[in-house]
Amino acid sequence: MGGYSFRQQSWEAQRGKIPGLVNIARIAIVLPLLIFQLLSTDSALNPDNFNFPSVEFYSWVLLYTFLIFLTIFRPDWQLQSLDLPNASAAVDISMMMLLVYVVGGLETGLGILVLPFVATSCLLSYGRYPMLYASYTAMLIVFNLLLGEGIRFNPLEWYTDQVLRAVILIGAAYLVAFLISFVTGHLKEANESAEHSQQAVNQLSGVNRMVINSVQEAVVVIDAAQQVWFFNRKAKVYFPAMMVGFHETAFSELVQRWHVFPEKSFETDIRVAQQVMHVRAVPLIQEEGEFLILYIRSLREVAAEAMSTKLASLGQLTSNLAHEIRNPMSAIRHASDLLQEGEEDGVKCKLYGIIDSNIRRIDKMLEEVSMMNKRDGFKREAVNLMKFWLSFKQEFVLNNPQAVGCIHMRMDGNNLTAVADVMHLQQIMWNLCNNAWKHSRQDENAVTVLMRPSGYSHISIVVSDNGQGVPVENRSRLFDPFFTTDKKSGTGLGLYVALELAHANFGQLQYRPEMNGFELILPKESNE
């Protein structure tokens, strides 16, 4: 049903031009005949005094002129369902045969004017009913013979020349109807074939667009004049002002290098909008011209993906190791509890306390190490940072009541949305805020969280405190596993785990000494 509807609409679009062409034919018939009739009244121009019957002819002209204006203002009156013969075609055939009768019969030779309208009747009906239109024309021709007394009841009294003209005209009507019907049938098949091909091309084009838009690289096609011919959604993220048909000056260096070696692919790095991009350029030579296909990727994203892949195996190893350590540690804890029962020796109780303290510290390490393996089954999604922060802050101050009124957030921009695993983001922010609160002055300006865009495709979250900051000698070891300045309760895994989780979400985590805090960079949601 859908395919038929598509073909029907396509034919209607083509058929819609026919009424205008038919109207031109009507004007081309009426206007010369009218001029001839007006000039024939001048005896100098018409010495034989030959003209059409005035009243009948002008009445016909008036009626046909009305038909012409009707078609100009309402051309759709001639278009109707293809399931029925076209009524407007019958009107034109009737008007032509009426003209023949008015001007004097078939001997005037004007009967040939009916043939174009037999042809258009078949066109308007898409090649259907050729016998009907030709037979209707033949019937009107016979009526003209009868009314003009070209034929009578006695065959011996027939006018041979009029009958011969009628036979030839009828044969021509059938021939034209069948020829047009035959040609139109082939046109219909060609039209349907072209439409099917166009559908296939459109479907293939849609698949190509979907595939190109789903790749992680930005794809841009430019010519030698740096004019943009095509780009995908990722390219719009890197270059928001890019438009097809306009020149992109950011690629001037690449085009110059392309001109030196026009058939050679190359790779290079360029800096665009404060970001370093890795570009793979592939020349494309076609009959339409020479183009350069650019595959562009932010080095920040490339590094994050590489780090994520590199740390995946390490995360699995540490998780398995943590699981194996838990079993003997449980046995040690149980044995320590049994030894403490009924023990009154103060020295031994102190030793048991040391054992318990270190067991709890190891448990905490194992818990943090197990977080690293959660990268394997994580789910990245769009996270509205304002909603996330309101929920996170409420949970954080419930666990740290003394921090109420001491943590402040500032957001530059509206409706910032990052793409990350919510649980990972929760763990990262918890480690950063807990670390900032611990090292701050713990007053009303203790911790400040700043959220803002970073370039075109990322979001920056800076967690800073008003403490003394990290000493210069310790900054290079901040993200080393098991490095901590808090020997009593620190495990040295908080920042390390946060860094791993940031990499797993294609982000970055770094210490910013000028802001006395840590900056988390995450991909921004693309709305295109």
Higher pLDDT, 469 or 12: 469
Q: With a cut of 60, say whether residue 509 has pLDDT above it.
A: yes
Q: Could you list the beta-strand ranges (E) of 80-142.
A: none
Which pLDDT value is given to residue 350? 76
Which pLDDT value is given to residue 99? 86
Rounded to whole angstroms, how far apart are CA atoms 117 and 122?
9
Q: With a cut of 50, say whether residue 2 has pLDDT above it.
A: no
Using CA of residue 346, residue 349, residue 355, residue 356, what is the dihedral sign? negative
Which pLDDT value is given to residue 3? 40
**Contact between 449 and 462 (Cβ < 8 Å):** yes
Question: Confidence class of residue 493 from pLDDT cuts 50, 70 and 90?
Answer: confident
b (16+ CB within 10 A) / e for 165-194: bbeebbebbbebbeebbeebeebeeebeee
Per-residue H/E/C for 246-277: CECHHHHHHHHHHHHCCCCCEEEEEEECCEEE
> Which two structure tokens, joined as six digits, stand for 286?
């076609």
pLDDT digits (tens, 9 = 90+) for 422-464: 888 988 999 899 989 988 999 998 999 999 998 778 999 999 9
Question: Confidence class of residue 4 from pLDDT cuts 50, 70 and 90?
Answer: very low
Which pLDDT value is given to residue 437? 92
Burial of residue 137 (number of CB atoms within 10 Å: 0-12, 13-18, 19+): buried
Q: With a cut of 50, say whether residue 168 has pLDDT above it.
A: yes
Which pLDDT value is given to residue 316? 60
| Count of other CB atoms within 10 angstroms of residue 105 | 20
Rounded to whole angstroms, how far apart are CA atoms 462 and 474?
20
Q: With a cut of 70, say whether residue 47 has pLDDT above it.
A: no
Question: Confidence class of residue 9 from pLDDT cuts 50, 70 and 90?
Answer: very low
CA distance readout (Å), 514 to 7, 133, 485, 499: 68, 91, 21, 20
Q: For a pLDDT cut of 70, what percent of the chain falls above it?
A: 78
Stretch among 291-295, 370-374, 449-453 having the lowest mean pLDDT? 370-374
CA distance readout (Å), 254 to 52, 262, 279, 295: 79, 11, 9, 12
**Contact between 7 and 197 (Cβ < 8 Å):** no
Which pLDDT value is given to residue 341? 76
Which pLDDT value is given to residue 411? 92
Using CA of residue 185, residue 187, residue 191, residue 193, what is the dihedral sign? positive
Question: Confidence class of residue 410 from pLDDT cuts 50, 70 and 90?
Answer: very high
Question: Confidence class of residue 72 from pLDDT cuts 50, 70 and 90?
Answer: confident
> Which two structure tokens, joined as six digits, stand for 60?
């016909």
Average pLDDT for the chain: 79
DSSP notation for 40-73: TT-TTT-TT-----HHHHHHHHHHHHHHHHHHHH
Which pLDDT value is given to residue 91? 85
Helix (H) or strand (E) holding 34: helix 18-39
Nearest by Cα to 403 from 437, 359, 353: 437
Global confidence as pTM: 0.41
DSSP letter at 456?
T
Which pLDDT value is given to residue 373? 54
> Following CA atoms 389, 392, 398, 400 in sequence, which dihedral angle do they give, to the nearest 10 degrees?
-90
**Contact between 290 and 224 (Cβ < 8 Å):** yes
Stretch among 91-100, 105-114, 312-321, 389-398 having the lowest mean pLDDT? 312-321
CA distance readout (Å), 52 to 36, 148, 382: 9, 15, 84
Q: With a cut of 50, say whether residue 205 has pLDDT above it.
A: yes
Q: With a cut of 70, say whether residue 50 has pLDDT above it.
A: no
pLDDT digits (tens, 9 = 90+) for 230-262: 888 888 878 888 888 888 888 888 888 888 888
CA distance readout (Å), 313 to 231, 270, 307, 493, 500: 36, 32, 11, 18, 12
Which pLDDT value is given to residue 522? 93
Question: Confidence class of residue 465 from pLDDT cuts 50, 70 and 90?
Answer: very high
Q: With a cut of 90, say whether residue 388 has pLDDT above it.
A: yes
What is the arithmetic mean of pLDDT over 270-296?
Answer: 81
Structural domains of the chain sorted by starting position, each given as residue range(s) with its CATH number in brackets: 2-196 (no CATH), 214-298 (3.30.450.20), 379-528 (3.30.565.10)
Stretch among 3-17, 130-144, 172-186 having the lowest mean pLDDT? 3-17
What is the arithmetic mean of pLDDT over 191-217?
Answer: 72
Which pLDDT value is given to residue 30? 84
Which pLDDT value is given to residue 69? 87
Which pLDDT value is given to residue 8? 43
Which pLDDT value is given to residue 315? 59
Which pLDDT value is given to residue 5? 39
